[in-house]
């Protein structure tokens, strides 16, 4: 059975490789608002990662703020994984 809409939580990050700034929380919410964050991400082709522990910590970061330095390693590992997966799919599409 699926989760109720009220139990859904989401945090959206923005990271610009061209700047030296860390990832920033650009949206955060639960329930219907979390569902809208997820739907907007899917519609934009943004990769979605489910990590309840990271979500718990990122959910405490105010929207508009950079993530704390203590989370850089965790977020960097996820971003590196996504970049590798996306690059692999791009190579396969070119063949």
- What confidence tens digit (pLDDT) does each residue in 61-95 have? 999 999 999 998 988 888 788 878 777 766 555 55
CA-CA distance, 24 to 15, in Å (whole number)? 6
Q: Domain ranges in the chain?
A: 5-94
Site of tokens 């650009």: 26
Please state, for a pLDDT cut of 90, what percent of the chain lies above it. Answer: 49
Task: Mention the CATH class of domain 5-94.
Answer: alpha beta
> Quick one: residue 19, left, alpha or beta (phi over 0 = left, psi -120 to 50 = alpha)?
beta
**pTM across the whole model:** 0.76
Comparing CA positions, the residue from 44, 4, 21, 3 lying closest to residue 12 is 44
Exposed / middle / buried, residue 78 (Cβ in 10 Å: 0-12, 13-18, 19+): middle
Comparing CA positions, the residue from 17, 39, 19, 26 lying closest to residue 67 is 26
Q: 9-50 pLDDT, tens per residue?
A: 999 999 887 887 888 999 999 999 999 999 999 999 888 989
């Amino acid at each position: 059975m699926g989760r109720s809409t009220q139990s859904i939580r989401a945090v959206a990050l923005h990271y610009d490789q061209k700047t030296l700034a860390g990832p920033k929380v650009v949206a955060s919410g639960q329930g219907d608002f979390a569902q809208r964050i997820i739907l907007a991400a899917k519609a934009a082709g943004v990769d979605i990662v489910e990590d309840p522990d990271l979500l718990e910590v990122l959910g405490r970061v105010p929207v508009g703020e950079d993530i704390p330095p203590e989370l850089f390693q965790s977020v960097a590992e996820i971003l590196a994984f996504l970049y590798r997966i996306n690059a692999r799919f791009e190579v396969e599409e070119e063949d």
